[in-house]
Structure 1
Amino acid sequence: MRSRLYFILGSLALLQTFTSGSKIPSFAAQIRDMRHSENAHTKIELASLISRNSSIFSPLDAEWKNETERYMQNINPQVQLSVRPGLEDDVAKIVQYANRRNVPFYAVSRGHALTTSVGKFNGIEIDLRSLNRVHVNSNKSTAWFQGGVYSYEVLNSLWDEGCVSILGPALGGGHGLQQGKHGLTSDHFVNLNVVLANGTAVQVNENSNPDLWWAMRGAGHNFGIVTSFESKIWPDNFKKYFVKIYQFAGNSLDALIEQVNLFQGNGTLDPAWLGNFGLYTINAALSQTEATITWVFIYDGVQAEAEAALKPFDELQPLTADEVSIPYTAINDQIGGAVDGALCEPNKTHIIGTAGLQTYNVTTMRAIYDLYTEKINQHPELGATRVFVEGYSVQGVRSFNSDDSAFPLRDDNILTYFDVKLNSSSDPLIDFATKWRDETIDLWNAGQSDRKPTAYVNYAAGYESLESRYGYDSWRLEKLRKLKGQYDPYNRFAWYNPIIPPQIRY
């Protein structure tokens, strides 16, 4: 409110300086000009406070479009200024400055946030992408990662050292390919360097700020900005991983899901299987009217063992079956997650939804498939829509006590993800896609009527209940709210799946 008042008072003062013969610009132009002036003043002030290798961008800069580019254009935070700190210490200084000016701040690393709450932000963006260093400690059992590091940067840095890490957005728990052996990403934090809402920099671990240690692992985006963290890593010795990719027609679906349930089990999948992933989407080379079902299996072990275990899938008459042995660094690309691939294409409108499962309901998976076919036949232009499921080994995840961190969903064996991709935030098919999304998520949840709906926080769209994201045990939300009042009483961190809605203070 204070900065809005500055803009209004500044405009009134500007009006008083014009003579009667001057051409007075429109009020909107005056407001815009004053905002640019305010941003220029802020840039000068901030530049005097932070390190010289930092960067500050305003809407007048040529780099602005690049700097504020996002994955989802339909969730559009109002960024007035973007600051890219060059040193970790700069983050605390930026937060302190924003607080003095009573301006909201929001930290990003890559702009991939999916939740609608991000769209309510209006203020200074703290872009962590320059904080991307990885340092492997001499014992090669832990490494330090700065807060803006890309997953692929982690992979490549550790691979050079003969190591791997757990992948995944860590503060929301962090599912990944190594979780069957080692647990979630957040389970293997050793230390977190965190900037709190008041601009104080603290180290957080099981002995230092232990209550915040609990909250950061599962709900961390509500409590602070992690400028760097130390995590356990594991030797890999440059071995190869076996990947097999099947494509099936719709008439194979029921038998396929039954077989996947036998393979996946209910929390019993051997950790040697890093994951199995299913996808419904249109492959025009195979069919333009019916979704092709793709299923990918990834194995850490002897290829002959994997081939024997997958023989039942070979007998289901797949349309195609391809296999490859690749290093760990290539797995993400192989399953469609390349950083420059179609899945990461920026500036698109996405209608997304998610549900957590334990096993697949065959009837439900068939109903979702038939719904997909129905919707695509109505609107063939939506053929890139993805209905995606992720089946992981969870033995490592379940080896940790669920009460010891804020992450509540250790009994979800399967993640689901629905995604319609559109070119414009005003696309006339948004309502159609949203209804399709809701029907699909409702089907997934109805297929497990004995469980309450759950939503992995890193896949959540923002409309899900707090309990589905942060746990149905009443003590969990009570504890999170109490800690929120202690560490962030003014609710500065209210933009990513917030525990407390924006603009609400204690």
Structure 2
Amino acid sequence: MVFSKSFLVAYGFTLLPGLLSSAATVTPDFFEKHPHTRHQINSSTVATELGSQLSNGTLIFGSDNPMYTNETVRWNNYARPDVQVIVKPAAESDIAKIVKYCDRNSFEFLAYNRGHALTTSVAAFSGIQISIDGLQGMTIAPDKKTVTLQAGTYGSPVIAALWDEGLVTTTGSAPCVGLMGPALGGGHSRYEGLYGMVMDDIIHYNVVLANGTEIGVNATSHPDLLYALKGAGHNFAIVTSFVKKVYPGENWYLKTYVWTQDKLETVFEELNKFAKSANGTTPPRMGVNYGAMIMNPNISTTEAVLEWGFNYAGPAEEAEKLLAPFNAIGAVAENGSEVSYPEVAGVTSYSCPGANRIISTALTLEYNVTTERAHYNQYLAKLAQYPELASGAYLYYEGYATAGFQAIPSDSTAYPHREENFIVVFFSEVPDDAPHLKEPASVWAKEAVDLWNEGQPGRLPKVYVNYAGGQAYQTNEQMYGYEPWRLEKLRALKATYDPQNRFRFYAPIIKQACA
């Protein structure tokens, strides 16, 4: 099918090398003697100046294109970047060219895969979005010990393709979440009790630096940058592909419970014991337990319940022996099932579509039972005051098996918080037609995280960077570690690899652009 120029322009496609003959009449910007700053960005200009340098199939378009909405959808709509132009490369090699073009023109750029950034810090961005979600390549090594993945890959298809070969790897929890985005901040995984976080079994990164230089990063090539990519990577480079270890797969056992509020103290006491039940850690094959303090109208319209799920990498018989303390609590509902690993994420993960989400989070060594009762009382009081929040507000709890990732020296990666056992998160979805609820939801979020931190006297507040909401009260030390050498090292690496601070929009180590 042949498209006319008028058709392409009408649908916002001012793109593609070779399709628009007008590109030949414009002097490419790379022939100019000096870089220049441009205050106006539009897809026509970018396509004319950049399009001929990129692979066939690359798309360049703006907000007038029907694809724009899907290419800018985000899990959290509360704070959105200002995306003026989207460049969707057809090949890894295009990314360096796009970055160099942005660098020459002083255009800001932001890499986008699946849009799961929780932090409000991305709202500071205005410029060109590099949509890498089309880069889905995957190659399993002949010895079936590693897999090479392009940076646009995400949970569900990777898990399924590996499973067909009898293999698994560490990934994020939800099937719709990209692999690399979480890995740059650590990446908690159901398999981390055995193999560590998502970042821990990545052995090589192909990256593009802020000036468009392409390099490989591993234990012998730029090992200093390897350290930074594992826990603070959003601040340093765009990953185009990476090599990851894979492991033999097995079926899983899932067990879910619903407990009424009178069991609250017992549940959290048993969770604390469980985290120390095998050599001081959660049993390594009990990959994760997810919980929520939430309204369930099928159980009660006046009291919140505790909904909990345990994921075990093995047969039901083994798992049930470990779950005996929780079976004894007495649930109003429970269910167990053995499933293949590709089924696990679909059964247990949260929903992926976007919403206006107010978020706060903390890390804990153990649950403070008194604090959790205070959270329960606050939860009911807040919903009585703001009933419109009832359908989207809850407290969320994650307890991963820690043996695998705690076995890795804490000073070997930028991720700093390997000693912590639990992640706690406050979520509130604010309806589009109720903007007046943003303020009370934000107040509640701050009060919730304060409760968790006050319940750990003598300990400094810490947050998992991938769950950080970007609020002013979340400091770099909370995200990247309190030891002075940690931030000093990261800032020194920024001076080496990103001296102009082009990568400053996701949980930034340094917020301002550098001259």
Q: Map of 1:360-439 to 2, 5 A cutoff?
A: 360-383=367-390, 384-424=392-432, 427-439=435-447
1:462 alignment partner, one of 465, 470, 481 = 470
Q: Find the counterpart in structure 2 of residue 31 from structure 1.
A: none
Letter in 1 for 2:333: T
1:145 alignment partner, one of 149, 153, 162 = 149
CA distance in 2, matches of 1:61, 1:301: 48
Q: Find the counterpart in structure 1 of residue 231 from structure 2.
A: 218
CA distance in 1, matches of 2:149, 2:62: 28
Deviations 1:274-302 (A, max 9, x none): 11111111111111221111111111223
**Does 2:253 match 1:242?**
yes
**Does 2:55 match 1:51?**
yes
2:274 alignment partner, one of 263, 285, 288 = 263
- Contact 1:349–1:425 (CA under 8 A) maintained in structure 2: no
1:324 alignment partner, one of 337, 340, 355 = 337
Structure 2 length as normaliser, TM-score? 0.88
Q: Structure 1 59/484 Cα, relative in aligned 2: closer, same or farther at 3 Å?
A: same
Deviations 1:400-436 (A, max 9, x none): 1111111101011111111101122861011111111
SS class of match (2:110): strand
Q: Map of 1:274-293 to 2, 5 A cutoff?
A: 274-293=287-306
CA distance in 2, matches of 1:309, 1:73: 40
Q: CA deviation at 1:91?
A: 0.3
CA distance in 2, matches of 1:122, 1:47: 21
Q: Structure 1 35/472 Cα, relative in aligned 2: closer, same or farther at 3 Å?
A: closer
Q: Find the counterpart in structure 1 of residue 361 from structure 2.
A: 354
Q: Find the counterpart in structure 2 of residue 130 from structure 1.
A: 134
**Does 2:70 match 1:66?**
yes
Q: Find the counterpart in structure 2 of residue 450 from structure 1.
A: 458
CA distance in 2, matches of 1:398, 1:311: 26
- Contact 1:495–1:502 (CA under 8 A) maintained in structure 2: no
Letter in 1 for 2:316: Q
Q: Structure 1 308/232 Cα, relative in aligned 2: closer, same or farther at 3 Å?
A: same
**Does 2:314 match 1:297?**
no
Q: Find the counterpart in structure 1 of residue 243 from structure 2.
A: 230
Letter in 2 for 1:442: D
- Contact 1:128–1:148 (CA under 8 A) maintained in structure 2: yes
Q: CA deviation at 1:265?
A: 1.9
CA distance in 2, matches of 1:322, 1:196: 48
Unaligned runs of 5+ in 1: 1-33, 338-342
Letter in 1 for 2:273: L
**Does 2:107 match 1:107?**
no
Q: CA deviation at 1:71?
A: 1.9
2:218 alignment partner, one of 201, 205, 210 = 205
SS class of match (1:430): helix
2:489 alignment partner, one of 479, 485, 490 = 479
- Contact 1:223–1:493 (CA under 8 A) maintained in structure 2: yes
2:328 alignment partner, one of 302, 309, 315 = 315
Q: Structure 1 131/404 Cα, relative in aligned 2: closer, same or farther at 3 Å?
A: same
Letter in 1 for 2:381: E
- Contact 1:289–1:377 (CA under 8 A) maintained in structure 2: no
Deviates further, 366-375 or 471-480: 366-375
Unaligned runs of 5+ in 2: 1-38, 173-181
SS class of match (1:458): helix
Q: Find the counterpart in structure 1 of residue 13 from structure 2.
A: none
Q: CA RMSD in A?
A: 1.5
